[in-house]
Amino acid sequence: MKPHFAILPLLLLLPASAHAVELRFLVGEGTEDAFKFIDGGRTVSIHVDESSLSKPYSFTGPGPLVLFKDVARAGKTQRETAARLAVPAGLTHAIAILVADQPGTYASLCIDDSPATRQAGTLRMVNLSHHAVTFKLGTADFTVAPGENHQLAAPSDSTRVVLHAETEVNGRTEIVAGNPIPMRPGLRLLLVLRDGRPGPGRKTNIVDVLSFYDRPPVQPSQSAIGDTVPPLTST
């Protein structure tokens, strides 16, 4: 699937990180065990999967993070660049989502994962699909275009929110999701939308919705909370 992230060129022009950043990775399809990067003169091997966020990896720079693979050619081992990720200055935590754009190379989408931005009780939608998806959660209505993401907060007293999502295909409305989503105390939720995959014995979805719950990381200073996120209204 060829990615369509209009945000990527902007990220690549931002100053490279000059401080330690805690990174977790997610790949759009499949599993990758051969990725490596250099941090402080040492080689770090990472495991990336489509079904779960990776463990945290620390990157101190300098320069953009370059993911590579060691490949054998003509009896020699060579480094083959798979992706370049420039982490925006000032981030302490980030999620890097990798999507194959050509055989062996990946485009990357970087999401601010700091506890000040992605607080407990928030929902973040990231649209990796080729379809604009319209959501209704509580009284909130919004559309997430391909390559974009959107975040909002659930009501603090709610144990679940009702998610309705749909898209249009050839002039017809197609339901993407229509189920209640559990909101677990102290956790936050990342929803990743991707083009539907065929599965045995079932109709192929237009858009798949993958959910990832986690707890915000601890940050030494919580004084800068940043912009507040508008809450949903309970239904």
Q: What is the mean pLDDT of the chain?
A: 83
Say whether pLDDT at 8 is over 60: no
Which H or E run contains 5? none
For tokens 């990381």, name the residue: 217
Residues 6+ apart with CB under 8 A from 173: 166, 167
Say whether pLDDT at 190 is over 90: yes
Structural contact between residues 32 and 26, judged by C-beta atoms closer than 8 angstroms: no
> Distances from the Cα of 91 to the Cαs of 6, 17, 20, 172, 233, in angstroms?
20, 8, 9, 41, 30
**Can you give the pTM of this predicted structure?**
0.81
Q: What's CA 191's distance to the chain center, in Å?
A: 8
pLDDT value for 14: 34
pLDDT digits (tens, 9 = 90+) for 79-117: 999 999 987 778 899 999 999 888 889 998 889 999 999
Overall fold of domain 8-112: Immunoglobulin-like (2.60.40)
Say whether pLDDT at 199 is over 80: no
Pairing of strands 140-144, 122-127: unpaired
Burial of 190 (0-12, 13-18, 19+ CB in 10 A): buried
Flag the least confident range among 96-100, 163-167, 211-215, 223-227. 223-227
pLDDT value for 118: 94
pLDDT digits (tens, 9 = 90+) for 11-62: 333 344 456 899 999 998 889 999 999 998 899 999 999 999 999 999 987 6
Structural contact between residues 140 and 184, judged by C-beta atoms closer than 8 angstroms: no
Residues 6+ apart with CB under 8 A from 84: 12, 64, 65, 66, 67, 108
Asked if omega into 220 is within 30° of 0 (cis), the reply is no
Say whether pLDDT at 2 is over 90: no
Domain ranges in the chain are 8-112, 122-214
The fraction of the chain above a pLDDT of 90, given in percent, is 57
